[in-house]
Structure 1
Amino acid sequence: MKLGYVILYVPDVPATLAFYEKAFGLKRRFLHESNTYGELDTGTTALAFASEEMAGQNGLTVRFHRPKETPAAVEVALVTPDVAGAYEHSVKAGASPVHPPKQKPWGQSVAYVQDLNGVLVEICSPISA
């Protein structure tokens, strides 16, 4: 077994893809013509977005992310060598600041923002082996 996708249910798939492209410099890999499903090129595991309507179509009952609510107990972690620069860029691009970069005891630099849908995004440096 391997992790193939992380799929977040969002109100507007094209707007979410555009936000991640602008705020984090990620590249769009795919957007279905229905605008209900899209993926970003994030390496081996795809970060994908599906419309909230698809959750119901898939037989799921879930609590959707909302910008004005406390974030759910999940985060998307994006790795970069320039955490401070990526944090500032994402906030200028519309991400909501949560915590500025902080050095962790294990040597990693970590910052947090929320995306346009209220999803918690960790911006972090690579962990040294």
Structure 2
Amino acid sequence: MELTQIRLLVSDFPAVYRFYRDVLGLEPQFEAEGGPYAKLSPDTGHAAIALQDRVQMADMLGRSGAEPEGYRALVVLRVDDLDAAHAEFTSRGAEFTRDPGPMGDRMRVAYLEDPEGNLIELQEWLVLREPAADGSA
């Protein structure tokens, strides 16, 4: 089994797309601001965030596209310098719900929301994990 992506079901596709592309600086695999699907990646690694129009997915499944209540997703992005990322994203219009601060003694984190209210955690690792004997972290 291989995880290929995390997909967020969104109602205002263009606003959420622009947020991940323009504010967080993720690179779209193809331009799709109007939806109904897009996949965006950071400049390193193979991880990706995919966006899917909520109504289109509900129609495909034959279900109501009702809005969720409370947080429904948490996107975690690792950054090398949390303070620099905080300043850069703020300059692009991001509003943080929690400014950079410690989370234990291994990392610092900050939180913001995308236009649909999905929670985003930015992590700066202060202490790198030691690889396990089998090579996993």
User: Against the structure 1 CA distance between its residues 22 and 107, is the aligned structure 2 distance closer, same or farther, given a 3 Å change threshold?
Assistant: same
Q: Distance in 2 between matches of 1:17 and 1:48?
A: 9
CA RMSD of aligned residues (A): 2.5
Name the counterpart of 2:21.
21
Q: Structure 2: where are the runs of 5+ without partners?
A: 130-137
- The answer to whether the 8 Å contact 1:94/1:116 transfers is no
Q: Secondary structure at the match of 1:3?
A: coil
Name the counterpart of 1:38.
38
Name the counterpart of 2:9.
9
Q: Distance in 1 between matches of 2:47 and 2:60?
A: 21
Q: Distance in 1 between matches of 2:105 and 2:73?
A: 21
TM-score for both structures, normalised by structure 2: 0.76
Q: How far is 1:30 from its partner?
A: 2.6
- The answer to whether the 8 Å contact 1:31/1:37 transfers is no
Which deviates the most, 72-81 or 10-19? 10-19
Q: How far is 1:62 from its partner?
A: 6.4
Name the counterpart of 1:84.
83
Aligned mate of 1:57, from 53, 56, 59: 59
Q: Distance in 2 between matches of 1:125 and 1:41?
A: 18
Q: Distance in 1 between matches of 2:25 and 2:3?
A: 23
Q: Structure 1: where are the runs of 5+ without partners?
A: none
Q: Distance in 1 between matches of 2:14 and 2:5?
A: 18
Spell out, residue by residue over 1:33-80, the C-alpha distance to the aligned partner (whole angstroms, 9 max, x if none). 962001102432320001121231232556646xxx7x4153101111
Spell out, residue by residue over 1:89-125, the C-alpha distance to the aligned partner (whole angstroms, 9 max, x if none). 2233232311111122232111001112211100111
Q: Secondary structure at the match of 1:88?
A: helix
- The answer to whether the 8 Å contact 1:9/1:64 transfers is no
TM-score for both structures, normalised by structure 1: 0.80
Percent identity over the alignment? 26
